[in-house]
Structure 1
Amino acid sequence: MTSPAAGLHARVVDPSRGVDVTVTVGPDECVALVGPNGAGKSTVVETVAGLLRGTDSTVHLDGRDLARLPAHRRRTGLVAQRADLFPHLSVTDNVAFGPRAAGAGGREARHRAATALALVGVAGLGDRAPATLSGGQAQRVAIARALATDPAVLLLDEPTSALDLDARADVREALATARTGRPTLLVTHDPLEAVALADRVVVLQDGRVVEQGPVEAVLRHPRTPFAASFSGLALVRGTATAAGIALDGGGELASSTRTVPPGRPVVAALHPTAVRVGRDGTGPGRTVTALEPRDGLVRVRTADLVADVTVATAAALGLAPGITVRMTVAPDEVAVYEPAG
């Protein structure tokens, strides 16, 4: 296999975990790895970092073969869910630890630490002890610690998942600065994080790549169930018609976004809040299978369609499992296209 001249190219093969994933990241690109738990995301990151050594895996960075190099010689910067700062060292000494371990003198290491801390907006924390930092401050220090080693590739493994909502915005801003100018792999379960940081999304499932593309394309027109769930959309399957899609579960949805000739298998992506629920009207009746609380709304599930309605609407309609409802969606809320594979 020929490696690219610039950027990261990795094929991660781990038979014991059922993983066989190829991912390429450009020299100034951030790729978000998303997928359900156990899909292989952490295996990819740990293999690139050198924490896992698979005999069949290959890792090339800017044309250099990293697969046989130990982790400390790969020039990878890893930011994980938790900062895990050394509690007995000051913030500056925590950030300077990497350069010192790589052979830099004390003055040079402290200079690089100060530069990295300023870059992520926490220059005034250098003399503080880790125990005195908030979660967001500690994570920005962890980002500075990764940057102080001048990494050739940045690996972000759910870097904001352990933070409260107020801290995430500041940390995302620091990550946006950190990822500039180097290939970056981002593992995330947060679509907002993917939008803010990534150029492309790679969707993993059962150790394989099942979908990939630019962030906007994957989030607006997901082709797999997980990508649809990740983007907040519902995905339904059926057959293309002149007007839109004939659903496998019965009935038809009109669509103003359709490019597939009639008769072909297609999927339709729509947001559950766009689905209107009533007890009367035209169209096939659907049986409510479950009602679930969801972000202040009530999710109404049927065999193929889901809708998010207000609590007041659910009460007014007398919704309950077993009730027959009719669901409609405006054509401009339905995107019809061919599924993955």
Structure 2
Amino acid sequence: MSRERPAHSGLRAHVVVPDRGVDVHLDVAPDECVALVGPNGAGKSTVVEALAGLLRIRSGSVLLGDRDLTGVRAHRRGVGLVAQRADLFPHLSVARNVGYGPRADGSGGQEARLRSDAALAAVGVAGLADRAPGTLSGGQAQRVAIARALATEPALLLLDEPTSALDVDARTEVRSALGTARTGRPTVLVTHDPLEAVTLADRIVVLEGGRVAEQGPTAVVLGRPTSAFAASFSGLTLLRGTATRGGIALDDGGALASSTGTAPPGSSALAVYHPTAAVVTRDGAGPERRVTGLEPRDGLVRVRAGDLVADVTVAVAAALGLAPGDAVRIAVPADELTVYRPDGPTPD
């Protein structure tokens, strides 16, 4: 920017909204991006609205460093928000859109233009400064929206599903801009996109029913989830059971071997695998289950059989003649199954 960016402090928030069933503690370090994930209605948007000051909370607190923002109005919080849609002012040029925040904060015209130019350059769209918003593509408009947030030099950045309205190609460019924007400041990212979480987030907080169901470093939550949503989010099948010397005895019956077990034998354990690793047969190896559902899935057929899930080719599904209610056996190679304790510790 045109002036030295102030050092940013961390966020400590306790968002309590009884009528929405939300009670969430959230801490974000000064240079950390935390992804909030969870099913629809879990409370993600409520948390963002409370942090932004768009929703007044009667109990709880929002602390940013030594500042108590709990009762502060939205425009005085120093919080930048990038939502699903850019919502640029149609009657202003791109440069004036981005410079609007600095002007509203009291900066003169020259200072606002300098900060606008720096923010646009930071996200790779300096060449759009004189364009009208109506001439921009979706990806360009969203990068301008990110620049608009950056130009205010926010003490906290909120990203509320910032790429969900974009096509696949535009998402790649916008993720790069988001990576620039989140650097050096506490950032909260709401997303339904696992790649976005992997690319941007240092840590993941899983919300379910207005509460924190699970949290931890991104690699841990996605690689060794303890909640059903986190497993689904990362594309894995989550199993529960008791650790054995060579794998896991499943709560629903049967056992699977694992070459990557980290839970002591006899202890409660979780196990995960990717459904494409599973092998479905009529009378081969693996626990026996009855088919509870068949779904098309990215060119494959997802076979649901109780706690076990397998993704097989259409040819395999046809050859087996699968139908709901059929008995099948599902095996998972030992090197594809990870067994671990539900409460850690998790090895690096």
Same fold (TM over 0.5): yes
1:125 match: 128
Q: Contact 2:14 / 2:23 at 8 angstroms: preserved in 1?
A: yes
1:15 match: 18
Q: Aligned partners of 1:286, 1:16: CA distance in 2, in Å? A: 42
What is the Cα deviation at residue 283 of structure 1? 4.2
Q: Could you give the per-residue CA deviations for residues 164-188 of structure 1, whole angstroms, max 9, x where no partner exists?
A: 0010000000000000110000000
Q: Aligned partners of 1:44, 1:32: CA distance in 2, in Å? A: 12
Q: Contact 1:30 / 1:199 at 8 angstroms: preserved in 2?
A: yes
1:103 match: 106
Q: 5 Å matches for 1:28-43?
A: 28-43=31-46
1:234 match: 237
Q: Contact 1:244 / 1:253 at 8 angstroms: preserved in 2?
A: yes
Q: Aligned partners of 1:320, 1:8: CA distance in 2, in Å? A: 51
Identity of aligned residues (%): 72
Q: Contact 2:81 / 2:160 at 8 angstroms: preserved in 1?
A: yes
Q: Could you give the per-residue CA deviations for residues 117-168 of structure 1, whole angstroms, max 9, x where no partner exists?
A: 1110000111111111100000000000000111011000000000000100
Deviates more, 1:135-144 or 1:91-100: 91-100
Q: Aligned partners of 1:284, 1:70: CA distance in 2, in Å? A: 58
Q: Aligned partners of 1:68, 1:250: CA distance in 2, in Å? A: 53
1:329 match: 332
- Equivalences, count: 337
SS in 1 for 2:229: helix
Q: Aligned partners of 2:301, 2:286: CA distance in 1, in Å? A: 22
What is the Cα deviation at residue 205 of structure 1? 0.6
Cα 1:282/1:182, change in 2 over 3 Å: closer
What is the Cα deviation at residue 243 of structure 1? 1.5
Deviates more, 1:34-43 or 1:236-245: 236-245
What is the Cα deviation at residue 340 of structure 1? 5.3
Which stretches in structure 1 are left out of the alignment for 5+ residues? none
2:74 match: 71
1:157 match: 160
Query: What amino acid is the match of 2:99?
Result: A
Q: Contact 1:224 / 1:340 at 8 angstroms: preserved in 2?
A: no
Q: Could you give the per-residue CA deviations for residues 253-293 of structure 1, whole angstroms, max 9, x where no partner exists?
A: 01112222223222211110110111222444321111100
2:3 match: none
Q: Could you give the per-residue CA deviations for residues 225-262 of structure 1, whole angstroms, max 9, x where no partner exists?
A: 00000000010111221221111222100111222222
SS in 2 for 1:277: strand
Q: Aligned partners of 2:315, 2:263: CA distance in 1, in Å? A: 38
2:271 match: 268
Q: Contact 2:286 / 2:332 at 8 angstroms: preserved in 1?
A: no
In the alignment, structure 1 residue 311 sits paired with structure 2 residue 314: yes
Query: What amino acid is the match of 1:164?
Result: D
Query: What amino acid is the match of 1:131?
Result: G
Query: What amino acid is the match of 1:59?
Result: V
Q: Aligned partners of 1:296, 1:62: CA distance in 2, in Å? A: 49
Q: 5 Å matches for 1:127-206?
A: 127-206=130-209
Cα 1:289/1:189, change in 2 over 3 Å: same
What is the Cα deviation at residue 107 of structure 1? 1.6
Q: 2:223 aligns with which of 220, 225, 236?
A: 220
Give the TM-score, by structure 1 length. Answer: 0.96
Q: Aligned partners of 2:261, 2:54: CA distance in 1, in Å? A: 46
Give the TM-score, by structure 2 length. Answer: 0.94
Q: Aligned partners of 1:282, 1:229: CA distance in 2, in Å? A: 25
Q: 1:338 aligns with which of 328, 337, 341?
A: 341
2:280 match: 277
Cα 1:226/1:65, change in 2 over 3 Å: same
Query: What amino acid is the match of 2:159?
Result: L
Q: Contact 1:143 / 1:175 at 8 angstroms: preserved in 2?
A: yes
Q: Could you give the per-residue CA deviations for residues 204-243 of structure 1, whole angstroms, max 9, x where no partner exists?
A: 1111111111000111000010000000001011122122
SS in 2 for 1:57: strand
Which stretches in structure 2 are left out of the alignment for 5+ residues? 1-7
Q: Aligned partners of 2:14, 2:146: CA distance in 1, in Å? A: 26
SS in 2 for 1:322: coil
1:50 match: 53
Q: Contact 1:211 / 1:340 at 8 angstroms: preserved in 2?
A: no
Deviates more, 1:237-246 or 1:174-183: 237-246
What is the Cα deviation at residue 339 of structure 1? 2.6
Q: Contact 2:9 / 2:155 at 8 angstroms: preserved in 1?
A: no
RMSD: 1.3
What is the Cα deviation at residue 104 of structure 1? 1.0
SS in 2 for 1:160: coil
Deviates more, 1:126-135 or 1:253-262: 253-262
Query: What amino acid is the match of 1:130?
Result: P
